Amino acid sequence: MMVRPGHNRFMSRRTITLALTGASGLAYGFRLIECLLEKGLNLQVIASQAAHMVATREMGFTLPARAKELEAWLRERYPGNDGSLSVYGREDWFAPIASGSGASDAMVVCPCSMGTLAAIAHGLSDNLIERAADVMIKENHKLVLVPRETPFSALHLENMLKLAKLGVTILPANPGFYHQPQRIEDLVDFVVARVLDQLGIHNDLVPRWGEAV
């Protein structure tokens, strides 16, 4: 049987889709990329237009606009790992993750803007991020949304509740402090560790509750 490039149904390694959107907190998403590649997973990345703007504002770098250029940029940024990496454009409707027949094993939207969350909650599927999330829901695969917003409006909460009732994991970017963080990176790792836990991926990024600090 011939399997097209990027199709994961017959791959032995787990495939994770990671969408980066325009909410504040892009550092969480980039740390996730690093960790997932280190774990030797097949990683599929999509970045919204707003995520490119946030990267310039928060991270101090400009993300390449084209998917293949962004893929090469990420490979250079995170070299020497065992994972595979594919980057898809927001309008790439032929990407495997646009269909249930090519759905990844799990998907994370991190950070997740309220606009993206609302679009997913209402099944809009106007771009590949929204469509891939819609596929996760309809195929009963793991979908984790990491919203970074405060305060939440009643509309935000209603959309989150709607998604939670569908089995979507809502994991706000709310770091704890019981691990006595000393650096911003420690706070980032706390949230990323919780995301990896939801994906069933072992990690030792931060001490667990009850462990010695």
For residue 31, pLDDT over 80 is answered with yes
User: 135, 172 in Cβ contact below 8 A?
Assistant: no
pLDDT confidence bin for 8, thresholds 50/70/90:
very low
The enclosing domain of 112 has a CATH number of 3.40.50.1950
In a domain, 111, yes or no: yes
Tell me the three state secondary structure of residue 146: strand
Counting residues of the chain whose pLDDT is more than 90, the rounded percentage is 90
pLDDT 10s digits, 56-87: 999 999 999 999 999 999 999 999 888 899 99
Q: Tell whether 23 is covered by a domain.
A: yes
What's the pLDDT score for residue 5? 42
Q: What is the pLDDT of residues 107-153, one digit of tens each?
A: 999 999 999 999 999 999 999 999 999 999 999 999 999 999 999 99
| Residue 205 placed within a domain | no
Type and span of the H or E element at 160: helix 154-165
Per-residue model confidence (pLDDT) at position 34: 97
5 domain residue, yes or no: no
For the beta carbon of residue 207, count every other beta carbon within 10 angstroms: 14
pLDDT tops 80 at residue 12: no
22 in any annotated domain? yes
| The two structure tokens encoding residue 144 | 């984790």
Whether 7 has a pLDDT exceeding 60, the answer reads: no
Q: Write out the residue range of the structural domain in which residue 158 sits.
A: 15-198
Assess if residue 57 is contained within a domain: yes
pLDDT for residue 83: 82
Residue 74 lies in a domain: yes
The DSSP call for residue 198 is: H
More confident residue, 90 or 213: 90
Asked if residue 51 belongs to a domain, the reply is yes
Number of domains in the chain: 1
CB-based burial, 115-142: b 16+ in 10 Å, e otherwise: ebbbbbbeeebebbbbbbbbbbbeeebb
